[in-house]
């Protein structure tokens, strides 16, 4: 077994690999960029080496500097994690030439499976079901239209070297096909330096289900069951679970056999994932093979009891796989939610900044938190904005969902926007609970985007009652402050008005034996809590049910969040509430005459100039953010009055680009 290994990655996956290495008695070396000098993975490792500047092209993607770090520290093996160089054949070859073990597959397997056109041909030869399509490289938009017409719309245009949803476009007619080809090609060049695009039939009502395989150098390959990864947004996975609520034993066995057949066809070694698209009749088609550890691997670990990182390390050290297919069992249910620094209320724009408060839910046998940040850490603009992966495990799917909702409610993140409320709203949908999932789930369930206030209206009055109790407790503390003028001592009343959603809710709060009885217009609420001011989580029993509500000060009021619902509340005395009715509302400025940047990004193209007329739906500009091109289109017929930015400008959120007459 190795004595020392280097982790060629950062963030949560680096921390997760370090934990397993520590249990195995292996010393660890972390690498870091200037942006990550104080990061959690750097502090967790036994030693750390700086490898360059903040951009990944100057650090985590520099093979030469990683090799220097390997040599200088005497590391015997390298775990690449996922992303960055994890599927880079040159990196694997360079390590092999240096006599250092790469904890992953051999370079030929990475190369053959990393190219979608080549991998599809190999899959077909191995007897794996493949989606009808055109496996060759498409040379231009006109050929793209001809290919799409032959396959039959809808068609998916995909970058051959793609991944992570980049370089992909679903097209449903000739016009969309021409534009989609240009977008996919440009994104592919920007993201991967490879503009090749191919086409395949787009499966309607598709599920994204993948099989985890593990193989050693002695000819042993097993699969560890499937993961359901259908809950996606813009082709990026949001929630994953194992097993799938849709797959029956026969389909599972057939998918597993085909996944193993593909692995054998490329002499695969280590952990890998074969991804399938599955239609409503459980017909499954090969999508791609990921020659690395997947982000969502924890759900497989929870239901099988296997440590995939430990298995990868042992296989890289030449050991025999310690289990056969007959030994693999799936017990219980696990669900993973990806917690990101992004703003769901602003179309999921990335949010960067410092984590001023960070309190993850307590880890237990049923709750797992894989994270690479801690309080005071920073979410950088240079890397993926993932904060953590929150995983819950239970005997049944329903129990795992309930645990996940409770854990999301207990996850305190301050300083950046985050998607915990959105995740809670997703798993709270009846359709999710029933397991009726497709890759279009989010688009269909939230057609107008995510609106937190409407996510869980049945909890609205619980939030009203909680706001009243929070304010009552804060008022009680204020009344005990010493040094008050005796004549004007602050007296805490029982009658309050909670102003939320432009409505006034009368709430009488009576302390009763350590609890609070809250009387509102719709009934009574008994609130039992040990909450104290300053705690960001209001944990309480409300009418006998345990709830955890996020609470923070917001000016003179509060912001509360629970089960995906958010409330801004102002708690006033009845007299104060009466006076508030006479207050004038500040009218927000009219920005309808401007095209604003929806996110930080690069203005790569302006399609109009001063005096140009544009019809509703016409493209006005293209902004590139996180290597994705975003087309900004006219909402109405407009005439351009002024151009306020130029191509090549780095834009801030809400920065004006155009002004209309």
Which residues are designated catalytic? Answer: 288
Contacts for 559 with CB less than 8 Å, ≥ 6 apart: 550, 551, 552, 553, 566, 567, 568, 569
Report the distance separating Cα 173 and Cα 110, nearest Å: 35
Dihedral sign computed on CA atoms, order 631, 632, 636, 637: negative
Residue 237 bridge partners (DSSP):
232
Q: Are 197 and 139 in contact (CB under 8 A)?
A: no
Report the distance separating Cα 304 and Cα 332, nearest Å: 9
**Backbone dihedral region for residue 449 (phi beyond 0: left; psi -120 to 50: alpha; all else: beta):** left
Mutual angle of helices 89-97 and 63-73, in 10-degree steps: 30
Collect contacts of 183-191 with beta carbons under 8 A, ≥24 apart: 183/629, 183/631, 184/157, 184/158, 184/159, 185/159, 186/629, 187/159, 187/627, 187/628, 187/629, 188/159, 188/160, 188/161, 188/162, 190/624, 190/627, 190/629, 191/159, 191/162, 191/164, 191/166, 191/167, 191/627
Give 362-384 as a 3 state SS string. Answer: CCCCCEEEEECCCCCCEECCCCC
Report the distance separating Cα 395 and Cα 386, nearest Å: 28
Strands 284-290 and 270-278: antiparallel
Q: Are 641 and 610 in contact (CB under 8 A)?
A: yes
DSSP output for 64-117? HHHHHHHHHHT-SEEE--SSTTTT-HHHHHHHHHTT-EESS--HHHHHHHHSHH
Contacts for 604 with CB less than 8 Å, ≥ 6 apart: 622, 623, 624, 629, 647, 648
Q: Which of 169, 168, 167, 159 is nearest to 117 (CA)?
A: 159
Q: What is the dihedral of CA 190, 193, 197, 201, to 10 degrees?
A: -70
Contacts for 652 with CB less than 8 Å, ≥ 6 apart: 597, 600
Q: What is the DSSP letter of 419?
A: S
Residue 376 bridge partners (DSSP):
none
SS3 623: strand
Report the distance separating Cα 399 and Cα 55, nearest Å: 42
Question: What per-residue string of b and e applies to 149-181 under the rule 16 or more CB within 10 Å gives b?
Answer: eebeebbbbbbbbbbbebbbbebeebebbbebb
């Amino acid at each position: 077994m190795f004595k020392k290994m280097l982790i060629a990655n950062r963030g949560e996956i680096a921390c997760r690999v370090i934990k397993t290495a520590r249990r195995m008695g292996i010393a660890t070396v972390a690498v870091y960029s200037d942006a990550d000098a104080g990061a959690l993975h750097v502090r967790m490792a036994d030693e750390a080496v700086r490898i360059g500047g903040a951009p990944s092209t100057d650090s985590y993607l520099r093979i030469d500097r990683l090799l220097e770090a390997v040599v200088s520290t005497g590391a015997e093996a390298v775990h690449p994690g996922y992303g960055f160089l994890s599927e880079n054949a040159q990196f694997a070859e360079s390590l092999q030439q240096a006599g250092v073990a790469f904890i992953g597959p051999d370079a030929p397997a990475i190369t053959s499976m990393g190219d979608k056109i080549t991998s599809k041909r190999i899959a077909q030869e191995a007897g794996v079901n493949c989606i009808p399509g055109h496996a060759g490289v498409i040379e231009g938009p006109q050929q793209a239209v001809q290919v799409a017409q032959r396959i039959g719309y809808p068609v998916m245009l995909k970058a051959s070297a793609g991944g992570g949803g980049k370089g992909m476009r679903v097209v449903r007619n000739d016009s969309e096909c021409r534009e989609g080809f240009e977008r996919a090609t440009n994104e592919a060049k920007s993201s991967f330096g490879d503009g090749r695009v191919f086409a395949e039939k787009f499966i309607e009502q598709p599920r994204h289900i993948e099989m985890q395989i593990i193989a050693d150098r002695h000819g042993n390959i097993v699969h560890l069951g499937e993961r359901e990864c259908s809950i996606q947004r813009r082709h990026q996975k949001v929630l994953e679970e194992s097993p799938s609520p849709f797959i029956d034993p026969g389909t599972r066995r057939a998918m597993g056999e085909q996944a193993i057949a593909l692995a054998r066809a490329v002499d695969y070694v280590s952990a890998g994932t074969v991804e399938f698209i599955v239609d409503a009749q459980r017909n499954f088609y090969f999508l791609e093979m990921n020659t690395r550890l997947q982000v969502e691997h924890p759900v497989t670990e929870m239901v099988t009891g296997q440590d995939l990182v430990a298995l990868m390390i042992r296989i890289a050290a030449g050991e025999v796989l310690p289990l056969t297919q007959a030994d693999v069992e799936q017990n219980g249910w696990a669900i993973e939610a990806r917690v990101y620094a992004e703003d769901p209320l602003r179309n999921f724009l990335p949010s960067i900044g410092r984590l001023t408060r960070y309190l993850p839910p307590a880890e237990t046998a049923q709750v797992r938190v894989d994270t690479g940040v801690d309080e005071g850490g920073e979410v950088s603009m240079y890397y993926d904005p993932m904060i953590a992966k929150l995983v819950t495990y239970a005997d049944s799917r329903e129990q795992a969902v309930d645990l996940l909702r409770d854990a999301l409610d207990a996850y305190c993140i301050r300083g950046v926007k985050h998607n915990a409320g959105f995740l809670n709203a997703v798993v709270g949908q009846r359709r999710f609970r029933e397991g009726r999932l497709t890759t279009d789930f989010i688009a269909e369930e939230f057609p107008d985007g995510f609106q937190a206030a409407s996510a869980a209206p049945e909890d609205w009055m619980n939030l009203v009652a909680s706001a009243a109790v929070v304010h009552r407790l804060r008022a009680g503390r204020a009344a005990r402050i010493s040094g008050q003028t005796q004549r004007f001592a602050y007296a805490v009343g029982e009658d309050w008005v909670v102003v939320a959603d432009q409505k006034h809710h009368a709430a009488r709060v009576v302390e009763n034996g350590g609890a609070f009885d809250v009387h509102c217009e719709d009934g009574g609420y008994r609130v039992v809590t040990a909450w104290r001011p300053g705690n960001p989580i209001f944990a309480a029993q409300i009418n006998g049910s345990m709830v955890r509500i996020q609470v923070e000060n917001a000016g003179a009021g509060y912001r509360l969040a629970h089960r995906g619902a958010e409330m801004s509340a102002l708690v006033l005395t009845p007299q104060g509430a009466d006076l508030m009715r006479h207050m004038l509302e500040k009218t927000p400025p009219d920005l309808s005459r401007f095209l604003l940047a929806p996110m930080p990004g690069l203005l790569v193209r302006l399609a109009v100039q001063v005096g140009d007329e544009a019809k509703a739906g016409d493209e006005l500009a293209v902004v590139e953010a996180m290597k994705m091109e975003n087309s900004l289109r006219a909402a109405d017929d407009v005439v351009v009055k002024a151009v306020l930015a130029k191509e090549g400008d780095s834009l801030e959120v809400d920065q004006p680009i155009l002004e209309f007459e």
